Structure 1
Amino acid sequence: MLFSALVIATVLHIRSVVGDSKSGVVDIQPCSVATGVVSRSLSIAYSLNGNFSLCPDQSYQALRVSTWSGGDGGGQDYPLVFVTRQGRAVDSWTIPFQPPDFTIDFDGVNRTLCYNNMTSVSNSLAYVDVFTSFGENVSFNIVFDPVPNYTLQKDTWYPFQVGASTPQVHVFRFPDGVRTVTVQAKASSSRCAILSVQNVSCPINDLLEEIKSKGHYQTMSTDGFVTISRDVFKYSSFFVVLITTNYSECHSSDYVTLSPLYVNGTGKLFVLPLISTDTYFSYPLFADCYFFLHGRLV
């Protein structure tokens, strides 16, 4: 939250300095990549419309906004700034993006949009402002896509792919009669990741500089567990966030500079309830990693 507040304050400062900047409002359709150009004298505001005809699957509950640049900007000194607005929820990030303890920059960032009370995305408006203080034109791309398998269900495998700037977010709702669940993540390789369980509130804390300030989390290399009781979070629901982090978070020895190839992780998700506290289900491991939930009945 502190990071977002600092970015928003910087945004307001930039806009106050660039008093003659011209702004345009662009209607953007989900599942359609939009390409834009901004500069010190030109900013763009995107308004998400409710036309989902281009989306192959319309049985979803959330959208992910993906942003990336062509690498023609002003670097860390004059980054691209993205600000999302959804009612009272405001979130922000910059490109190039450098997570804490990383020495590399990422030209792409994904964020999951949050909707109050888990309402349908078609009933919620979202806006994205894009601008920079760089004096020359900076190109970028933006797209809103449905989050596949957003609500975790039992006895079902879900593929996933995450990185340090591309977290994955899902929601889990306690079934009737289930009092406690254990969120488990497994990986066949020793990539370092953070498994986070958070209250259903907006915005979602899904970046490395925010993820440790909300809810419960565990740093993991090959295995991670977080046990949650039903009464810990409101609405008997919680967000599950998975993101890769620097190897130093999981290992005591120092590592050389990592490239994006080595901080990405792929695998499968699984939700597994327990019939009782004495009964467990056993399933074979799947390649690269997976993640599931056990539950305990009241």
Structure 2
Amino acid sequence: FVVHPAGLAALLLLCSCATQLVCDAAAVGEAKYMVQKNADFDVTYNDTVTHDDQTIYAFNHTISRNKTVGVRVTVDVLQESVESPILFVVRQKQAVMSFQVPLNLRGLNLNSIQKFASLGFIYQRQYPYKHVGRTLCQPPTRAASETQYFFVDVSTLSSRGTNYQLRVSRVESFTLQTDKKFTFSASPSQPQYFKYVFPDGVDTVIVKVNSDMNFPCSVMSIQDIQCPVYDLDNNVAFIGMYQTMTQKGAITVQRKDFPSNSFYVVVVVKTEDEACGGPLRLYPLRPDELINAGNRSKVLDVLVSPETYVIGMLFCLGIFLSFYLLTLLVACVENKRSFQMSGGSSAESVPLLCSSERSLDSIARSRQESLSSVEEEEYDTLDDINSDKNIVRTKVSSIQPNKNDFKVPLRNIATIAVFYALPVIQLVITYQTDVNVTGNQDICYYNFLCAHPLGALSSFNNILSNLGYVMLGLLFLLIVLKREIVHKRALDRNDINALECGIPKHFGLYYAMGTALMMEGLLSACYHVCPNYTNFQFDTSFMYMIAGLCMLKLYQKRHPDINASAYTAYACLAAVIFFSVLGVLFGRGNTVFWIVFSVIHILATLLLSTQLYYMGRWRLDSGILRRIVHVMYTDCIRQCSGPMYIDRMVLLVMGNIVNWSLAAYGLIERPNDFASYLLAIAICNLLLYFAFYIIMKVGAVAALSLK
């Protein structure tokens, strides 16, 4: 049997036709009825849709290149229970937007409870919204006026009819005006966004969004003029800059970041309030369980205003430069006065009280009559007054500081500053880069209402404000340098005032204090590059240093013959910073940490009080407990006697009351900001010790005057 090629071709054509007929017949059996309607703006359409039909609403409107009018689509589902959601697809000239109603929006992800979620115990929350409103993204046009068409397709897979309402309206106030407040309402299923165009001559504006309601939590976003616009809770972070807010939010926008000289201001209400510190709902126990979100509408207002801050910058610099000018004037006056006095008789300038012929025994006798001298080498009234007390009395000239010893504090703090500052600078630059790349302004906690960006820095004015620390620290160093030069010149010419009078001059701690003040400015500026809870310790670390160095200098002023070890002092300050780090990491609500810290705080207070009361004549070693028991037995049980130095004891008791109160407050309240709490302890103790020094000094002067 032989088949002719022409016959084979005819047979194949016949089979193809038969197959096409069968497919067409099947298609006809499953065909949907498609209805297209010409629709108008600001008209509410009530209709029903099933899986057998599809409705298309055709709209047309005229757009202008010079004026932008927004178009908003609002949909309501009228039935309580819906078998399948209704799908709405909006087809425009250069954009397509689709959404379903009811619109199911998910809550937060389950990263924090991933272990339980993986076991199937709990599931992510879902919130259905039957009222949905979306603003259409306007495609650009180059013509002066153009008529554009767009279509709204309505379909569903539900076999039962679902009733809905559709309304398309124009948003006349779609474009925001400069310095004009506009009020609107938003919800998770009804986000809002508006357009702003930079006016001529304005390069920087600040967008402020305000509300009288803390909750629901909301997000404001700045996006470029492009489609699609990301205006839902689950996609608002995809593009542009965004910021979570409760009552107030502000984002500074620069013209150079938007080539079209315009941008969208998007406001989205979140489905949950945990991001703003609000309560968190329980997780559902079934995978498909829907949670009623309730009323989450929020009334807000937006205001766009131009921003300039050159005058503020110059004013800030002028304030600190005025200190330099004042110091220069004082120095000139002092130099002129000293030059005029240099012509007088040198013999008249020799004070009688500072004569080197005065015996040291007379000095000792005058100090013995004071019950509570400010000097550590005072005598007490016991019988062992003539015994060795480990403090050898020498002439003032013989206890001058070693040339290298006073440089140790400066060298140490300079080394600490370099090794501390370099990682800090690297970290904050990384933070700032993340903010610029991701647009997530929640990484850094600025005062956004007064944040002025410059270059890659989001808040340059906050950084500039710390320039005062650096300038004043440098001025302090210059003043110390001048005093040191004057003192060295006096020593070189064998000035008897410099050789025999006053306490020895220790300039090392002064240099360390000035360097610490400058580093406080640098690290505070680093903190303000991207301020948040975890790096607040950058701002406070050298505050602890300054407080410790000030207390050390006061101690040195009272005890000039005792030069405290710089290594020991910095080791103690390092321990303070170590506790600051632990407090930031583990201090929030950790009862064990607060108990341990409070105990250490109280013990340190007792040790310091003992040091101040006994003027250094005690040792912390293995026999400390035995000596404490012996003193308690001899002074309190065997022979009850009052304290030898009443005034000193009273002041130290008051200081202990303050420190114990701070420890009790921390243990009871457990404040979240541990760095500020620790800084409060340091400042309080510095002020207490300063008051202790002043009172003891005044008491000693009064005792001398009575003689």
Q: TM-score range by the shorter chain?
A: 0.7 to 0.9
Instruction: Please say if 1:147 is aligned against 2:171.
Output: yes
Cα distance in 1 for residues equivalent to 2:250 and 2:101: 32
Deviates more, 1:252-261 or 1:241-250: 252-261
Instruction: Please say if 1:79 is aligned against 2:79.
Output: no
Query: Could you state the TM-score of these two structures normalised by the residue count of structure 2?
Result: 0.34
Counterpart contact for 2:89–2:154, Cα < 8 Å: yes
Partner SS, residue 116 of structure 1: coil
Counterpart of 1:56 in structure 2 is none
**Aligned runs of 1:176-195 on 2, under 5 Å?**
176-191=200-215, 192-195=217-220
Counterpart contact for 2:218–2:245, Cα < 8 Å: yes
1:169-228 deviation per Cα after TM superposition (whole angstroms, max 9, x unaligned): 100111112222222222232120010111111222112222111211111112222222
Q: Which amino acid aligns with 2:55?
A: I
Counterpart of 1:138 in structure 2 is 162
Q: Which amino acid aligns with 2:293?
A: S
Change (3 A) 1:146 1:224: same
Change (3 A) 1:110 1:252: closer
Instruction: Please say if 1:169 is aligned against 2:169.
Output: no
Counterpart contact for 1:167–1:206, Cα < 8 Å: yes
Cα distance in 2 for residues equivalent to 1:254 and 1:270: 31
Partner SS, residue 174 of structure 2: coil
Counterpart contact for 1:182–1:295, Cα < 8 Å: no
Q: Which amino acid aligns with 2:213?
A: S
Aligned counterpart in structure 2 of residue 67 of structure 1, from 58, 72, 75: 75
> Taking every aligned residue pair, what percent have the same amino acid on both sides?
24
Counterpart of 1:264 in structure 2 is 297
Counterpart contact for 1:35–1:140, Cα < 8 Å: yes
Change (3 A) 1:295 1:31: farther
Counterpart contact for 2:206–2:305, Cα < 8 Å: no
Q: Which amino acid aligns with 2:294?
A: P
Gaps of 5+ in 1: 1-15, 52-58, 280-291
1:126-182 deviation per Cα after TM superposition (whole angstroms, max 9, x unaligned): 111110000011111111111141111012221200001011110011111222222
Change (3 A) 1:121 1:158: farther
Partner SS, residue 231 of structure 1: helix
Counterpart of 2:420 in structure 1 is none
Partner SS, residue 206 of structure 1: coil
Counterpart of 2:624 in structure 1 is none
Instruction: Please say if 1:109 is aligned against 2:132.
Output: yes
Aligned counterpart in structure 2 of residue 235 of structure 1, from 239, 260, 278: 260
1:2-36 deviation per Cα after TM superposition (whole angstroms, max 9, x unaligned): xxxxxxxxxxxxxx9x9421111011100111112
Q: Which amino acid aligns with 1:40?
A: H
Deviates more, 1:108-117 or 1:66-75: 66-75
Cα distance in 2 for residues equivalent to 1:173 and 1:38: 41
Instruction: Please say if 1:156 is aligned against 2:180.
Output: yes
Counterpart contact for 1:272–1:293, Cα < 8 Å: no
Change (3 A) 1:107 1:252: closer
Cα distance in 2 for residues equivalent to 1:130 and 1:144: 14
Counterpart contact for 2:195–2:265, Cα < 8 Å: yes
Counterpart contact for 2:205–2:305, Cα < 8 Å: no
Shift of 1:113: 1.2
Shift of 1:74: 2.8
Cα distance in 1 for residues equivalent to 2:194 and 2:95: 18
Counterpart contact for 2:193–2:266, Cα < 8 Å: yes
Q: Which amino acid aligns with 2:210?
A: K
Please identify which structure carries the higher strand content. 1
Query: Could you state the TM-score of these two structures normalised by the residue count of structure 1?
Result: 0.78
Q: Which amino acid aligns with 1:125?
A: Y
Partner SS, residue 126 of structure 1: strand
Q: Which amino acid aligns with 1:96?
A: P
Cα distance in 1 for residues equivalent to 2:273 and 2:203: 34
Change (3 A) 1:220 1:132: same
Q: Which amino acid aligns with 1:174?
A: F
Shift of 1:122: 6.6
Partner SS, residue 136 of structure 1: coil
Cα distance in 1 for residues equivalent to 2:302 and 2:172: 12
Larger radius of gyration: 2
Change (3 A) 1:93 1:142: same
Deviates more, 1:168-177 or 1:18-27: 18-27
Partner SS, residue 149 of structure 2: coil
Counterpart contact for 2:72–2:169, Cα < 8 Å: yes
Deviates more, 1:251-260 or 1:237-246: 251-260
Change (3 A) 1:177 1:165: same
Cα distance in 1 for residues equivalent to 2:178 and 2:127: 38
Cα distance in 2 for residues equivalent to 1:96 and 1:205: 19
Deviates more, 1:173-182 or 1:244-253: 244-253
Cα distance in 2 for residues equivalent to 1:274 and 1:229: 10
Cα distance in 2 for residues equivalent to 1:295 and 1:131: 49
Counterpart of 1:214 in structure 2 is 239
Counterpart of 1:33 in structure 2 is 44
